[in-house]
Structures are given as C-alpha cells and as structure tokens.
Amino acid sequence: MAILSVDVLFDAAIRIQLAEKLISITFIQDTIRIKFPTTRRLAEFLEVPHYYVLPYFAMMEQEELVTRAERVGILTTAKGSRKMITMMREKYLRETENILGTPVFQEIIKKFP
C-alpha cells in the first residue's frame, strides 16, 4: 500500500495521464488548468481504499492546488498547475513531450518557470 501525500497524488495523476496518453489542459486568461483523474481512479491506481485519498484532496483544496468544478471534475489552480508542470518537466519530460508535443510543452514551461 502506498504512503500518501500531496506529492504522491500529483505524481500518480501524472503517471495516469501518461499511461492513458491523455493530458486535458484548459487555457483560461493567463493561466492553465489541468484536469486531475477522479479520486476513485487515483485510489485504484495507488491500490488504496478510495476514502484514503479524500482527506488529501481536501488538503489540496485548502492549499489552493486544486479546485472542484461541478460536472467537470477536479482541476489544478494556477499554483497546482505550476506544481504539476514542474513535476512533469523534472521527472517525465520526454513522456509529456510525446503527448503534448515539444513546442507546446516548452511554451507551457515558459509560462510556469
């Protein structure tokens, strides 16, 4: 069973997106929002009960890393997008560029140095 933390959940979200070859990004004014997998999907991926991940999402909302949008799901905030982009750049650069394309990902990185 995985030891959970905010970083573990962000990393798992990225690995799910890379495995599914699907990174859903919404461009809003001067920022982007990245769609998080569902809490159930994250729990399944991490092989923990669903209710284990819920307190971490409450914590991530409190820390303004994610927000829940009705009928849309869980999206990163500007702060959460920065965290996710940094992790993608540092740990999964090649894989992320394979999905988004190098020019697109490099432009995103420029907005979130």
Q: Looking at residue 9, what is its pLDDT?
A: 96
DSSP-derived secondary structure for 92-112: -HHHHHHHH-HHHHHHHHHH-
pLDDT per position as a tens digit, 27-72: 888 889 999 999 999 999 999 999 999 999 999 999 999 998 888 8
Query: How many domains does the chain fold into?
Result: 1
Predicted structure pTM score: 0.92
Question: Quick check: is 1 in a domain?
Answer: no
Q: Is 98 within the bounds of a domain?
A: yes
In a domain, 43, yes or no: yes
Domain membership of residue 25 (yes or no) is yes
Give the tens place of pLDDT for each residue, 71-101.
888 999 999 999 999 999 999 999 999 999 9
CATH number at residue 45: 1.10.10.10
Are the C-beta atoms of 13 and 84 separated by less than 8 Å?
yes
Question: In which domain, by residue range, is 11 found?
Answer: 6-111
Q: Cα separation of 86 and 52, whole Å?
A: 25
Assess if residue 77 is contained within a domain.
yes
- Asked if the structure places residue 101 within a domain, the reply is yes
